[in-house]
Amino acid sequence: MLSAFQLENNRLTRLEADEIKHLASSVWVDLVEPDDDERSRVQTELGQNLATRPELEDIEASARFFEDEDGLHIHSFFFFEDAEDHAGNSTVAFTIREGRLFTLRERELPAFRLYRMRVRNQSMVDGNAYELLLDLFETKIEQLADEIENIYSDLEKLSRVIMEGRQGDEYDDALSTLAEQEDIGWKVRLCLMDTQRALNFLVRKARLPAGQLEQAREILRDIESLLPHNESLFQKVNFLMQAAMGFINIEQNRIIKIFSVVSVVFLPPTLVASSYGMNFEFMPELHWSFGYPGAIVFMMLAGLAPYLYFKRKNWL
């Protein structure tokens, strides 16, 4: 899908279907999973070569941040959650050439959707491609900050469940949720660090106007403030995982302890019963009138004695 936007009095407006035939008037060309016809159109009308899928998957810095005859290129991760709430990072290719911003992505992303909603009601300051790029990065950082806040909130709830829970199923669910939160936190951290590298490249290589230079530095400061929070999340997740595993081990040991004590308690009665169950010809007790009830009482006493002993030692 191809979308194009133009500036009118420093306000970003989307070109309608009949207007999109003239891409030359656009300041931002946004492509989401473009087909061959859309790629060819951008190349023909604007002379812009778009990144291929293998190029989007490259992770080395030289392939993600560079400048060539096609313009200034930045490939940056954007965080998303799919319909099944599975978190991921998707690479977006940014290219700035001749005052126009090109964005190429493989899916719809929350940061882009939120930014398009915002620009309907607010004007840009300088109205250039660099401001567009930095505004998108700002929106991304706000989204990542919200994700960190959500993880903090979820970990607080999990902390109460783990510290107060008494059922094994609660610990199982908590461990599963902790693993999911750690995965989200890792993807958020990867996105933050990738954005930090992208902005550092932009500040070094691009001749940013004064307003955009300060905007880029402000975003970098925001990233610097978020990274320690993200690191503390990993420490919290690790602590809660160890605590949950510790409580699970305690619960398992308690169960094993009960089985061990029960087996020891029943061992003396079993010994008595097996003794009187032996088939010998000369067993005087067999001829006693009180032999059977006496054996029963003996078995009960043999079981009660170790139970009381364990109770006195606080082993139960």
Contacts of 167 (CB under 8 A, 6+ apart): none
Interval 177-186 mean pLDDT: 91
Amino acid 137: pLDDT: 96
The CA distance from 311 to 295, in Å, is 24
Q: Is residue 19 over pLDDT 70?
A: no
Residues 50-84: tens digit of each pLDDT = 888 888 888 888 888 888 888 899 999 999 988 77
For residue 285, give every residue at least 6 positions away whose Cβ sits within 8 Å of its Cβ, in sequence order, or none.
Answer: 276, 291, 294, 295
pLDDT at 149: 94
pLDDT higher than threshold 70 for residue 20: no
CA distances from 235 to 138, 183, 194 (A): 27, 13, 21
Lowest mean pLDDT among 43-47, 122-126, 232-236, 273-277: 273-277
Using the structure block, give the residue that is written with the tokens 């070109």: 15
- Residues 264-285 have pLDDT tens digits of 777 777 777 777 666 656 667 6
- In the sheet that holds 87-97, the strands lie side by side as 11-14, 2-8, 28-32, 100-105, 87-97, 71-81, 65-68
Please report where in the chains the tokens 């959500």 appear, as a residue: 150
Pairing of strands 28-32, 2-8: antiparallel
Of the candidates 237, 189, 220, the one whose C-alpha atom is nearest the C-alpha of residue 79 is 189
User: pLDDT tens digits for 92-141?
Assistant: 999 998 888 999 999 899 999 999 888 878 877 787 889 999 999 999 99
Question: Would you say residue 87 has pLDDT above 80?
Answer: yes
Query: Are 162 and 244 within 8 A, CB to CB?
Result: yes
Residue 263 amino acid letter: S
Lowest mean pLDDT among 22-26, 135-139, 243-247, 290-294: 290-294
CA dist 252 and 230 (Å) reads 33
Position 249 confidence tier, pLDDT thresholds 50, 70, 90: confident
8-state DSSP, 313: T
Contact 132, 101 (CB under 8 A): yes
| Residue of 259 and 103 predicted with greater confidence | 103
Residue 52, C-beta contacts closer than 8 angstroms, at least 6 positions apart: none
Instruction: For residue 149, give both structure tokens.
Output: 């806040």
**What structural domains and CATH numbers belong to the chain?**
2-249 (3.30.460.20), 250-312 (no CATH)
- State the first-to-last Cα distance of the chain, in angstroms, to the nearest integer: 69
